Chains A and B, each alone.
Chain A
């Protein structure tokens, strides 16, 4: 049994507004934004699963459904075998200790009016039976764990640098000894040198504390470094899921290939794959039937009018493309 199992996850947001009202009055289905459409994957204990895709592909929505900041429209989210997709806030509480999240913006996710100590301690007050002394000891231990000096404990977020703020966020997330941490673009807001340090810190913590990560990012180089497997999302669906090494060595889905080809490589002599897609990501409101990449894909054939299933084409390698046989040869 995997630590986290997601099956056919769907998250649709009703658009509301005048269009919604008119549709309701006419007795039609209200228009919705299909942010996530039948997404399934597992996260094994101790692994880092990378989730990549461009802005608006639904990766953060998946994360929010997973930590239950959102209630999915349909589908199941199992954590350690238990269904959590439908739990209410009260029933969800015991799981909050085990499932934590680090957000993209290290500044916006900290309370500007609380000191570092109170923010990290808050998680312990809520989720543990520690007394004040034990909490203090644990906070100091956590500061050490994420590489922050004890002298920063009484600082406020505005007194910290971006890298230090993100460390506070990480300390707070691991305070309750979680088993699963969702990292939503945790390194994107950091400068080059801080980014590599944050990457190494996350890797060290995973090994140290036996954590499992869902690592969400649009930075493919970082994902390649941290993740053992990678899922690629496009317009609300997973188009490819594979071992990291295989994926980067030979991307199979046309979208993955275009995505990788677009990453600038720090080597002036690198030969570039000039595979590109036409146009830009369409709106997730009126999505095409069939393969959603159809309108932009240079390889599209008539069969692509049917929705391609996410098929296992080699052990552990899943691709949602009708043309996968041709592509892999």
Chain B
């Protein structure tokens, strides 16, 4: 079996006074062993909620309404909390967007990593310490012996992010969920973090789900890309295919809306904004912003169809356009 993670029909709602926020809507997604999958979309498209749902970290008022997440054939939804806790950190790890707030300010960074190793890998204090230093070296932290004894506030943002990655990889997880790991970092530091992620994935065979809104980052390191809009998955394709033959109007709009260093472009912002996810429009949630909208787009949700091998898209317009050419 090559699918390491299989998300089927996942739906997550957040119940608030005004109604249910339908943050993730019937998503199907798989991640293969050793691959880097990019999950892209604007803010509020449900990218982070999806990764929290994988780790079963959705807390009230949030609720997984339907769907399942299988990891290595195990249905994560049916695991008792104690076993799920062992899964987190050991098999599935996460690197968050804000490394400084994710780290414990009262513990030295070395301590945080060795604690994790003692809990999840059952190492002795001494072994954990040794492995912790190895990890810090692996993520290229200069003078790891000195850094290990420092607190998060003594490290720069890029350094904290590397500590987070070291921590996430310390137990050799099979899946790493990286939520905007380079957002807010300077370009040269971000480039180093990306190189590091790719190298580590090759070295350890870990799969990575990279949540980002930066298409540059996606093109740089991802093997496959899934595009989300307003809680729905609209397209999923190998990275080359996605950039050369984007099939969904939203993906096309996303690519045209960014200024780029490598060529001169005419900027075309995506029209409209992400619809409210409380009582969202039925049918395709992009219909209100799309230049190709047809009557049936507003009525029912377009099914995922195969545009090319391994390339799926959810758009009635795509089917129509394909038939006519």
Contact = CB atoms under 8 A, between A and B. Distances in A.
B190 A225 contact: no
A57 to B, nearest CB: 9
Interface in B185-213: 186-191, 194, 213
Given A193-B273, A264-B214, A221 B258 contact: yes
Contacts of A262: 187-188, 190-191
Interface stretch (B9-17, B107-115, B144-152, B259-267): B259-267
A262 B186 CA distance: 9
Which of the listed residues A199, A222, A260, A267 has the most CB atoms from chain B within 10 Å of its own CB? A267
A279 B142 contact: yes
A200 B214 CA distance: 19
A321 B279 CA distance: 60
A258 B186 CA distance: 12
A220 B257 contact: no
B193 to A, nearest CB: 11
B267 A225 contact: yes
B254 A192 contact: yes
Contacts, number: 102
A222 to B, nearest CB: 5
A202 to B, nearest CB: 11
Contacts of B273: 193
B43 interface: yes
B216 interface: yes
Contacts of B87: none
A265 interface: yes
A221 B261 CA distance: 5
A70 B267 CA distance: 36
Contact of A263 (B216, B255, B269): B216
B27 interface: no
A2 interface: no
B121 interface: no
B65 interface: no
B123 interface: no
Contact of A280 (B158, B219, B240, B269): B158
B196 to A, nearest CB: 13
Interface string B248-282: 00000011011111100101111001000000000
Interface in B131-178: 142, 156-158
A258 B262 contact: no
A201 B38 CA distance: 30
Contact of B43 (A191, A263, A276): A191
A222 B260 CA distance: 7
B176 to A, nearest CB: 19
A248 B219 CA distance: 20
Contact of A265 (B158, B213, B220): B220
A268 B219 contact: yes
A268 B239 contact: yes
A259 B261 CA distance: 11
30 contacts: A54-B187, A54-B189, A55-B157, A55-B186, A192-B258, A193-B42, A196-B257, A196-B258, A196-B259, A196-B268, A196-B270, A197-B269, A200-B269, A218-B186, A220-B261, A225-B265, A258-B188, A259-B187, A260-B261, A262-B188, A263-B187, A264-B216, A264-B220, A265-B220, A266-B218, A266-B243, A266-B258, A267-B262, A268-B239, A280-B156
Name the 8 nearest CB pairs between A and B, nearest first: A264-B216, A225-B259, A262-B191, A266-B215, A54-B186, A196-B269, A221-B259, A264-B220
Given A193-B257, A280-B158, 20 more contacts: A54-B188, A191-B42, A191-B213, A192-B213, A199-B267, A220-B261, A224-B259, A224-B260, A258-B188, A260-B261, A262-B190, A264-B191, A264-B214, A264-B216, A265-B262, A266-B216, A266-B219, A266-B260, A268-B239, A270-B219
